[in-house]
Every structure is written in C-alpha cells, then in structure tokens.
C-alpha cells in the first residue's frame, strides 16, 4: 500500500475519533440531562417506535454510499442513481410506517405510540434526500470535511433536544430531536458539498447488484443491536426497555466510540490496498491496539457500574447496573465483529460479512425467544445474558471468515488479546477489593470519591499489569510497542518544538 494512503488512513482515523469524541461527548451530555429530566418509560416509548422504523430503514438500506466508495471508477451516473434510489426508498418507508402506526401501537399495547410513529416516519424521507455528494469526503479520504459535516449535524440536534426536554418534560423532546437531526443533516449536506444530484436510474441495477449483500448485512446488523428491543418491549414494557436502552448505550459508549470511527476510516483505506499482506499486517496491528484500549474500558465499566449509574443518572436508573456490567464486555466483542466486517467489505467480500452477521442474528433471536418463552420473569437481565452469550458463541464464525478471506489464523487473535484480558481481570479484582459495596442512601460526595478512587486504581492496575507482562514476554512486537513508539515520537516532537520556540 502506498505510504500516502497509509498516512491518510492514520489521519482519517484520528479525525474520525475526534469527531466521535465530540459527537458522543454531546450525546453523553444530552443523555445525562434527558435521563435526569425524563423517566425510563419515556426512553422506552421512543425505542418502541424507533425499533420498527429503524428496521424498515434497514430493510431498504442498500448502502449505496459503500458501493460508491468501493467502486474506484464511480461516475456521476452512479452518484445520481444512488441518490435517486435512496430518495424513493425513503419515501416508501415513510408511507409504510404511517400506514403501520396503529398496528405497531397495538403490538406494544401503547395507544400513544401511534402519533410517535407517524412523526418519526418522516425521518427516513429526510435521510433519503441527503446530498450523495458528501460520500466523496470518505471516498477521497478527505476526513477533515467529513468531520465538519458530522459535527455540524450533531450540534443542530443537541441545540434543539436539550431545551425541549426542559420545556416539554416528555418523550416528544426525543422525537423532535431525532427529526431535527435528520433534517439538519440533509440541509447541511447541500451546504457542505457543491454536487447537485438529479433523478437517474441508469446505474441503479449495478448498485443494487453490489449492495444486495449489504442489504442483508444491514438487516442482520440491525437485529444484532436492536433485536432485544422487540422482546423486551413486548414482554416487559416501556420502562424496562428504556432502562435496557440506556444501559446498552452507556456500556457500549467507550468501546464503540473508539472502534466505530476507526472502522469508518479503515473501510475506504482497505478498499485502496493492493497487497493482501499489507491488509493482514495493518489489520492485526489495529486489532491489537483496539484490544489494548477497549478491554480495560469494558472492565472498568463492569467494576465501577454501581457507582457510575447513580452518579450520572440517579437512583431511578439503578436497574441499569447489572445490565451495564454484562453489556460492557458484549460491546468489546461486537466491536471486534464490526472491525472484521469493515475489512471484509473493504476488500470486496460483503457476502462473508453478511453470512457472519446473519448467523449472529439467528442465534440471538433463538436465545431471546427461548429465554422469554421459558420464563418471562427473567426480564431485561435475560436479554443482556442472551446478547453476551451470542457474541461469545458467534466470534469463531467471524474469525473463520477472516481466515478464509485474508488468511489470518484465529489463534493470532488469542495471542493478541491474551495480555489485555489478564490485565483487565486484575483491574476488576483490584477495584472490587478496594471499593466498598454501593448502598442506596450513600451521599453524592461518597459516590464521587469512590468512583474517582476506583478509576485511578483501575488505570494504575492495568498499566502496571500490562507493562509487566510485556516485559516478561521479552517486549515482543505488537500493540504495546506501536503505542510506545508513537508516544515517544509525539513527546520528542513536542520537546523539539518547545526548544525551538524558546530559542527564538
């Protein structure tokens, strides 16, 4: 792979991580404010409506932008055809969801859902009308402009939903926030890129042919993340669903917000690589770094969740604690799965990614059905166990697809993750030994002090454990060495810059 492409991928990953930090920072602030103002039931009502709307979107989501990114010779006809198909599909989804609003409300036994579904049904139409020209930001590895586009869209949503939450104190604040985010993103897309699409079906068949696997992959990916919503919402109600959704979001927040932008940068980069060996080396290093960073984050969430939830959300959300402890590790496995899919799609194997996600989906739905049909009283904790168990059992399927397409042996990933796994286990044991058990009635100051103390203990324990094992192993090449060299290089550059500025 040319050095310039490697550099662009590295810079792209940094830009995408920066965007996700800003986006999720705003999202986290928004979630914390909304969680204080609204009830778990409010989040559950919106999740019920969005579960069907998001499924309808993905049933028609052919990922035309991915097809254009993967096709290095895409023309204006490809862009126009992609925009035309997206617009028409968005319109069809809007009309379909309006027609199904009453049946959806009946399914969940919540009459108030009817108008929520009708309102949210316009979201797919807004998204379908988005300027297809912004895909060029990723295709051309222009991540700086992609960063600006995504940040502006998030700022619009944040500036609307938080004031509305104070004003309305109901789930309608969430509904309006979602719609404004989608409409704002579409308007900004035309301001950010000069391309003006027009109706054109000349390349529709070609795009649909490539994207047919991505369609199935998207449906499987949706059920992978949101399949539990249908069971939890139907069997246990809006309050439990709202608790599960917040726990899922917070538990996955650190790992997905590190991994998702890297995957977003890797996909167009891998599409440009010409050497299979370069892909294997680059991906092995990326997974090593992800394991080194995300595993201790998941372990910290597991250990500190009893303090994290009351500190951030309040005691009315304490039901999210055991869910977060399970879903944190599920998030690490799902991140590994998504990175594998990004590589497979980028290298032109979308069917392999689809197959792995499809197996995961079938396994998850069977486990959820079995758990809830056997004993409905298990509630949301059963859904969390089902998600974690499915991620564990399906991981060999993803690794097999990677081995088949890129030649990476599954044992390589065991070797990569060994030291981070052991160090993370030490982290959990040390934090649980140091911190006392949380109890209702503990003062806010005590919660904050023990959370901060636990976080410091977690960081120090992990760093000492991982560095000790690395030195004992003979300081082998891998993620630890890459991060160490990168940090030394950064410090060296900063020192030289300070020295030169002082001399001037």
Query: Against a cut of 0.85, is the pTM above it?
Result: no
Check if the beta carbon of residue 120 is closer than 8 Å to that of residue 129: no
Residue 300 has what DSSP assignment?
H
Please report whether residue 72 resides in a domain.
yes
Please report whether residue 504 resides in a domain.
no
Domain count, the chain: 1
The pLDDT, as a whole number, for residue 429 is 95
- pLDDT by 10s per residue, the chain, length 504: 444 544 544 454 555 555 555 665 666 666 667 666 677 777 777 777 777 766 666 554 445 666 666 555 667 777 777 778 888 888 888 898 899 889 888 888 888 888 988 988 898 888 888 877 677 655 555 556 656 666 677 777 777 777 877 777 777 887 887 888 788 878 887 887 777 878 877 766 766 665 566 666 666 666 777 777 777 777 777 777 788 878 887 787 766 666 655 555 555 555 555 555 566 666 777 777 788 888 898 999 999 999 988 888 878 888 889 999 999 998 888 888 887 887 787 667 777 888 888 888 889 888 888 887 776 667 788 888 888 999 999 999 998 888 887 777 788 788 888 899 999 999 999 999 999 988 888 888 899 999 999 999 999 999 999 999 988 888 887 667 766 666 666 566 555 555 555 555
Please report whether residue 291 resides in a domain.
yes
Dihedral angle computed from the Cα positions of residues 458, 459, 462 and 465, in that order, rounded to the nearest 10 degrees: -110
Please report whether residue 38 resides in a domain.
yes
The pLDDT, as a whole number, for residue 2 is 47
Residue 173 CA to residue 160 CA, distance in Å, equals 8
Structure tokens belonging to residue 416: 């990569």
The structure tokens 């109901």 sit at 170
Please report whether residue 502 resides in a domain.
no
The pLDDT, as a whole number, for residue 502 is 53
Q: Give the residue numbers spanning the domain of 156.
A: 3-496
Please report whether residue 501 resides in a domain.
no
Please report whether residue 209 resides in a domain.
yes
Please report whether residue 503 resides in a domain.
no
Check if the beta carbon of residue 93 is closer than 8 Å to that of residue 121: yes
Q: Of 417, 375, 377, whose CA–CA distance to 399 is shortest?
A: 417
The pLDDT, as a whole number, for residue 451 is 93
């Amino acid at each position: 792979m040319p050095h310039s492409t490697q550099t662009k991928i590295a810079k792209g990953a940094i830009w995408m991580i920066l965007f996700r930090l800003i986006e999720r920072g705003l999202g986290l602030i928004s979630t914390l404010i909304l969680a204080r103002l609204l009830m778990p039931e409010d989040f559950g009502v919106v999740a019920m409506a969005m579960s069907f709307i998001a499924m309808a979107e993905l049933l028609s989501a052919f990922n035309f932008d991915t097809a254009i990114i993967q096709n290095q010779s895409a023309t204006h006809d490809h862009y126009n055809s992609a925009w035309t198909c997206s617009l028409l599909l968005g319109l069809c989804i809007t009309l379909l969801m309006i027609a199904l609003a009453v049946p959806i409300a009946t399914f969940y036994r919540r009459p108030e859902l009817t108008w929520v579904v009708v309102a949210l049904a316009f979201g797919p139409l807004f998204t379908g009308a988005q300027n297809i020209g912004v895909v060029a930001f990723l295709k051309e590895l222009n991540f700086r402009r992609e960063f600006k586009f995504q940040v502006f869209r998030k700022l619009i949503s944040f500036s609307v939903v938080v004031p509305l939450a104070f004003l309305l104190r109901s789930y309608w604040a969430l509904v309006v926030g979602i719609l404004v985010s989608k409409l704002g993103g579409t308007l900004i897309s035309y301001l950010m890129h000069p391309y003006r699409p027009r109706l054109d079906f000349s390349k529709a068949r070609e795009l649909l042919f490539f994207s047919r696997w991505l369609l199935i992959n998207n449906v499987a990916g949706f059920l992978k993340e949101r399949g539990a919503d249908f069971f939890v919402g139907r069997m246990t109600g809006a309050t439990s669903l709202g608790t599960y959704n917040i726990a899922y979001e917070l538990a996955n927040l650190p790992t997905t917000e590190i991994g998702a932008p890297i995957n977003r940068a890797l996909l167009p980069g891998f599409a440009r690589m010409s050497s299979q060996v370069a892909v294997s080396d680059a991906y092995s290093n990326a997974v090593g770094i992800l394991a080194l960073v995300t595993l201790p984050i998941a372990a910290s969430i597991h250990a500190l969740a009893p303090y994290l939830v009351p500190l951030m959300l309040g005691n009315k959300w304490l039901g999210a604690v055991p869910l977060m402890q399970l879903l944190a590790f599920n998030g690490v496995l799902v991140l590994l799965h998504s990175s594998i899919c990004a590589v497979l799609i980028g290298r032109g194997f979308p069917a392999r990614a689809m197959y792995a996600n499809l197996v995961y989906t079938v396994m998850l739905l069977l486990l959820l059905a079995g758990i809830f049909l056997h004993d409905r009283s298990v509630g949301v904790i059963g859904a969390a166990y089902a998600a974690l168990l499915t991620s564990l059992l399906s991981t060999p399927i993803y690794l097999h697809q990677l081995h088949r397409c890129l030649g990476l042996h599954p044992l390589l990933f065991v070797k990569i993750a060994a030291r981070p796994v052991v160090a993370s286990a030490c982290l959990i044991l040390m934090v649980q030994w140091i911190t006392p058990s949380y109890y209702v009635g503990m003062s806010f100051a005590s919660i904050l002090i023990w959370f901060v103390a636990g976080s410091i203990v977690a960081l120090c324990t992990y760093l000492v454990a991982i560095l000790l094992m690395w030195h004992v192993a003979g300081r082998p090449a891998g993620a630890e060495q890459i991060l160490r060299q990168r940090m030394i290089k950064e410090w060296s550059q900063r020192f030289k810059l300070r020295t030169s500025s002082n001399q001037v």
